[in-house]
């Protein structure tokens, strides 16, 4: 299994440009999430999905859109990039086992710089 994969690894955008960060998992996990990581602020939840066709907002959703058309894929779209969106983005997936939701598996991250 490849686990959780993310593309691209690095990206530089100009203010106002749009782009999509890709995330895929091959573990048949129900739950997928997007986080951003900024120095001194830990990981903050942007959006999450509990299954194909179902998404919801996290702590910091403004400026981002998501969709989940398949179990495997959960892309994150930046509609009009702003310098405040410069960050490292992590995608994660997890599933619900007998004891409750199990651990999250993180992708390798995408380092985004908005000029």
- Binding site residues, another protein, CB under 8 A: 30-31, 33, 35, 40-45, 48, 50, 58-59, 90, 96, 99-101, 103-104, 106-109
The CB-of-41 to another protein minimum distance in angstroms stands at 6
CB of 106 to another protein, least distance (A): 4
Per DSSP, the residues of 26-81 read SS--SEEEEEEE-TTS-EEEEEEEEETTEEEE-SS-TTEEE--SSSSB--EEESS-
Q: Which is nearer to another protein, 74 or 90 (CB)?
A: 90
Residue reference for tokens 């299954």: 51
Output 5 or 17, the one with its CB closest to another protein.
Answer: 5
Closest to another protein by CB, 26 or 59: 59
Q: How far is CA 4 from the centre of its chain?
A: 11
By beta-carbon proximity to another protein, the closer residue of 15 and 59 is 59
Asked if residues 65 and 79 have their Cβ atoms less than 8 Å apart, the reply is: yes
Taking the complex as a whole, the smallest distance from the CB of residue 42 to another protein amounts, in Å, to 4
CB atoms under 10 Å from CB of 59, counted, come to 11
Least distance from another protein to the Cβ atom of residue 95, Å: 10
């Amino acid at each position: 299994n490849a686990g959780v994969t993310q593309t691209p690894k690095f990206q530089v955008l100009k203010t106002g440009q749009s782009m999509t960060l890709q995330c895929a998992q091959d573990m048949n996990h129900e739950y997928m999430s997007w986080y951003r990581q900024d120095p001194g602020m830990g990981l903050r939840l942007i959006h999450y999905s509990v299954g194909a066709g179902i998404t919801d907002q996290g702590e910091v959703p403004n400026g981002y859109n998501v969709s989940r058309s398949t179990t495997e894929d959960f892309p994150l779209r930046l509609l009009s990039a702003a310098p405040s969106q410069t960050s490292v983005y992590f995608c994660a997936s997890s599933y619900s086992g007998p004891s409750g939701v199990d651990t999250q598996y993180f992708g390798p991250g995408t380092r985004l710089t908005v000029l």
